[in-house]
Structure 1
């Protein structure tokens, strides 16, 4: 009789363990965790959308963030962003370093810590414009009316954090 009790106890314990694991993975606690993750992701997306406006990304990349040919890239998931992981995008925003090893052109990364640490331009030589005026910058001129100082004048931009860059990435991933 004793030999039959042990398998029954083991089978009962196994059934309890399986039920606990199943309930833990599919029960109310799991549903709360999933809802919390979804809420956090939605919060990141909405925060990213607000940050795009706060950091004025749409000033150069246009209102729909589709870029301006010859001036700024389309930063949708189907545009230039498709080449970037979240970590690479954060590095791009904070330092200006692209995933191909190159660097973005000014005014990017205007908000990153890398911008705050950039050395001043060299002071030497002739700083007068060449005869006939200044040549256009590489990639063409800024769009007409798109590069005006903001109301209230120019001010030093806020420094972007990695968490803010991640939220912007989450928002940009939703754009098509």
Structure 2
């Protein structure tokens, strides 16, 4: 009899994980769609990026955010490049966030670590994506404004996306911090 209860509890856990993954993916995509004119391009304010902090609490959010980014990027002017590299960048940076914060208990510390990872590694990947798209002449690509070589282009893209990302991370950090005080995000 107890074995059945254990299986039931595990299946509830799986249903809960799948539900949370779907909800976070939908929230990410919805926020991005609503602010679509500001969510894409060399200067962007993608408020949904504030949700990246969730990866500091549970690995399920890596999948949720990756899926949310993929869905949101279906309307990206860069098309398939953003579908692949945008999603891959999110999975990489949220995985690093999760690994770097696994043993951290303090919410503010988790958010600070997450912010550093996303703003450095995540935006470096995004800048590389933009550099690639422009240099292969991808549809929807835009110039960096740099007259230099690949590194100068990458740096120009990096510096153009960083301010909006920092704003999104600060706003998201405040929301996620408040949420972490009301709900155990690790469960």
Larger Rg: 1
TM-score range, shorter chain: 0.3 to 0.5
| TM-score, normalised by the number of residues in structure 2 | 0.33
Higher relative contact order (CA 8 A, sep 6+): 1
Relative to total residues, which structure has the larger helix share, 1 or 2? 2
